[in-house]
Structure 1
Amino acid sequence: MAAVSTMWRTPWVRWATIAVVAIALLVAPLILPQIANQTLIRIGVYAVAVLGLNIVMGYGGQVNLGQIFFLGLGAYVTAYGVQNDWNIVLVFAAACLIPAAAGLLVALAAARLGGLAIAMVTIALPIVGVPLAKRFSDVTGGSQGVSARFSNAPEGSGLYDDQWQFYIVLAIVAVSFVLARNFVTGRFGRALAIVRENENVASSMGISPYRYKVLAFTVASLFGGVSGFLYMVAVQYTSPETLSFGHSISLLAAMVIGGAGSIVGSLIGGAYYVFVPQATSAIDPNLTTIIQGVVLLVVLFVLPGGLVSLPRRIRRRLRRTSSSDLARTATQTSSRPAPGRDEEGTEETERQGQA
């Protein structure tokens, strides 16, 4: 395991692995069945939503129980732009910037609050969002929802719709994760970590906790809007149900199970959000919520750092086992008599007996 870890630190090994994964992802939609492509697309959609939640909660230490609101808002903006024949680039920009602006307004008011107060503010977002989506039926389609078909494969591309959608989602997800990684590992990420640990220390170092909290919440909202655009790419339909509070809690559970404060954990969380409900529904639809709760509790007790921490736990266990084996071997070696010592002791005893 140590050899594997050392090998991964070698630049050419890391880049070769990335190249192999990239090639596999580019080839996958061409050979996988439609159902598999659609499943991978949905994982990408929710991985970006969990990524935004991870930035504000995992890295920023703030409470956000309304991430699904920004996903739904991005989906409605996308549908509105498509129905009004906007340029698709403009649609994407609006789907990102309008949720980001909404998140900024919420953050400016809520970032000064703490604990229970900010939790209540974010809880209110999906709770208020559902009736608002139903009320403004001219724009949102009311309870019936609204559809927007814009992600079908272009004629002459030689691709099926699911393959074309896969490549769109793959490109946007890849860029989102690269930007998020640079975001949290750069100067902003270091400052945000200090704010999360101790706001007084951050203030003494010239770092404004309020400013970084607002920025983190805004960035999380932007990623929520990106996931809303991707949701429309994949589903091409949205309704007030998209904004429901239950989905927001599921996103939160996905972040915790994947791994809070981890970019890779966000991808695992997206997979959890898609796979686990499908698996639990296949077992017994009436027990879906109970089984998901049990899974969450088991992961919290066994792997508090989420599934992303599993390899690290295995490495520690292997190191501990290796250290115990070495200590046991050293103890056995030190307690073993030196060669010839027993024979000399026996001869000396015999001579004393004869005397």
Structure 2
Amino acid sequence: MTRVAQEGWRGGLAKLTARRTTRWVLGAVAAAVLVAIPFNASPYTNLQLALVIALAVSLRGMDVLTGHAGQVTLGQSAFFGIGAYSGGYGFAHGWPAPLSFLLAVVLCVIAGVIVAIPAVRLRGFAFGVITLALPVVMAPLAIRLDWLTGGPVGLAVTTVQAPAWSGLADDQWQYLLVLAVGAVMFLLAHNLLAGRVGRALTLIRTSEIAASSVGIPVQRYKVLAFTVAAAYGGVGGWLYLTAVHYIGVDSLALTLSISMLVALVVGGVRSPLGCVIGAAFYILVPNITDKATPGRSALFFGVALLIVLFVVPSGLSGALRAGWSRLLASPRPATPAAAPPSAEQHASA
């Protein structure tokens, strides 16, 4: 019996090692492809991919709050816009890129903490209403503060330019910068959720009463999750501005928050790949649908959301993981049926 258990343990360990090796190989190949893309793509393609990465960063922060902590938010566009406008202010006044990036993160963290402290005392529908009020208030405020935000016209700035020693075009350099910052943000989120914080948020999502009973400070962790989501929203907005060189009131609108939530659900919650798929869905799919039916992107988003909810509740990333697991699963050999005892065996018995 011990030998059988050891063989089963070794077999499971070998499968786990093979899966990890496969993930590392696929990750390395994907990283090489992403780095090589700007050298073989048009400026428009580089822009579209940079926008996908920027939105994926914002969705990753949203996933920490909604997917892991279980708190549905409709205010992510407010932090996205704050990050973009903060970066625009810094670039317009000649600040270096790291300083404008720091301003965007700090302002979003401060705003996130201010909103989170009273908001986390609420649950469910009430929490969603509080977060919904953020873009509803921020968009008209941005229009009124035209001396700072450009008002309804928006703010156009020159962001990051390729240094002469790089030999790259501006769109190539900006894409690589967005990719590098996005990779770091995804790595930080992975490290955060892989440890004690991730386990605590999972338990809070499952049952706040159970989390409190084992000594987890529920409100403190919910404030942390909200602040992380706000910071990631700000970073996503800064990356968006870096690629587009323009920020308008639409980046603060409630419709963007709703679209982000739809993209996250379609891509798959609690999944880094789901955030990327959701961002690609939001950025790239309208380019296809508008050619067939102009102005019907919102309708297509709604239909896609219903299909995902009914067919693949875990999102497109969950469907891909399930398909990949089935592909890697080795078929088990059929166990031969035991032969019935012969007449001689009955006689000897």
What is the TM-score normalised by the length of structure 1? 0.86
Aligned counterpart, 2:4: none
Aligned counterpart, 1:198: 207
Q: Does structure 1 residue 235 correspond to structure 2 residue 244? A: yes
Task: For residue 276 of structure 1, report the CA deviation from its aligned partner.
Answer: 1.8
| Amino acid corresponding to residue 59 of structure 1 in structure 2 | H
Contact 1:150 1:233 (8 Å CA) reproduced: yes
Q: Does structure 1 residue 9 correspond to structure 2 residue 15? A: no
Aligned counterpart, 1:142: 151
Aligned counterpart, 1:171: 180
Contact 1:280 1:292 (8 Å CA) reproduced: no
SS for the counterpart of 1:153 is: coil
| Amino acid corresponding to residue 65 of structure 1 in structure 2 | L
| Amino acid corresponding to residue 53 of structure 1 in structure 2 | M
SS for the counterpart of 2:71 is: coil
- Superposition pairs of residues 149-168 of structure 1, within 5 angstroms: 149-168=158-177
Aligned counterpart, 2:314: 305
Contact 2:69 2:201 (8 Å CA) reproduced: yes
Contact 1:52 1:223 (8 Å CA) reproduced: yes
Shifted more, 52-61 versus 77-86: the winner is 77-86
Contact 1:277 1:292 (8 Å CA) reproduced: no
The count of corresponding residues between Structure 1 and Structure 2 is: 331
Contact 2:52 2:283 (8 Å CA) reproduced: yes
Q: What is the distance in 2 between the residues matched to 1:178 and 1:284?
A: 38
Q: What is the distance in 1 between the residues matched to 2:268 and 2:15?
A: 20
The RMSD of aligned alpha carbons is 2.6
Contact 1:303 1:310 (8 Å CA) reproduced: yes
Aligned counterpart, 1:288: 297
Q: What is the distance in 2 between the residues matched to 1:161 and 1:87?
A: 16
Task: For residue 41 of structure 1, report the CA deviation from its aligned partner.
Answer: 0.6
Aligned counterpart, 1:350: none
Structure whose CA Rg is larger: 1
Contact 1:276 1:292 (8 Å CA) reproduced: no
SS for the counterpart of 2:72 is: coil
Q: Say which of 121, 124, 130 aligns to 1:115.
A: 124
Task: For residue 321 of structure 1, report the CA deviation from its aligned partner.
Answer: 12
Q: Does structure 1 residue 51 correspond to structure 2 residue 65? A: no
- Superposition pairs of residues 191-270 of structure 1, within 5 angstroms: 191-270=200-279
CA 1:15/1:80 → structure 2, altered by over 3 Å: closer, same or farther? Answer: same
Aligned counterpart, 2:141: 132
Percentage identity across paired residues of the two chains: 42
Task: For residue 225 of structure 1, report the CA deviation from its aligned partner.
Answer: 0.5
Task: For residue 157 of structure 1, report the CA deviation from its aligned partner.
Answer: 2.3
Q: What is the distance in 2 between the residues matched to 1:14 and 1:317?
A: 15
SS for the counterpart of 2:141 is: helix
Q: What is the distance in 2 between the residues matched to 1:168 and 1:256?
A: 27
Q: What is the distance in 2 between the residues matched to 1:14 and 1:308?
A: 15
Q: What is the distance in 2 between the residues matched to 1:268 and 1:103?
A: 26
Q: What is the distance in 2 between the residues matched to 1:260 and 1:21?
A: 21
SS for the counterpart of 1:9 is: helix
Task: For residue 7 of structure 1, report the CA deviation from its aligned partner.
Answer: 6.2
Aligned counterpart, 1:106: 115
Any idea what the Cα deviations from partners look like across 1:245-290, whole Å, max 9, x if unmatched?
1111110001001111112211111111112222221210143222
Aligned counterpart, 2:6: none
Contact 1:203 1:209 (8 Å CA) reproduced: yes
For structure 2, list consecutive stretches of 5 or more residues without a partner in the other structure.
1-11, 342-349
Q: What is the distance in 2 between the residues matched to 1:227 and 1:169?
A: 9
What is the TM-score normalised by the length of structure 2? 0.88
Task: For residue 14 of structure 1, report the CA deviation from its aligned partner.
Answer: 4.1
Q: What is the distance in 2 between the residues matched to 1:258 and 1:8?
A: 26
Aligned counterpart, 2:72: 63
Q: What is the distance in 1 between the residues matched to 2:310 and 2:96?
A: 49
Task: For residue 315 of structure 1, report the CA deviation from its aligned partner.
Answer: 5.7
| Amino acid corresponding to residue 106 of structure 1 in structure 2 | V
Q: What is the distance in 2 between the residues matched to 1:302 and 1:177?
A: 28
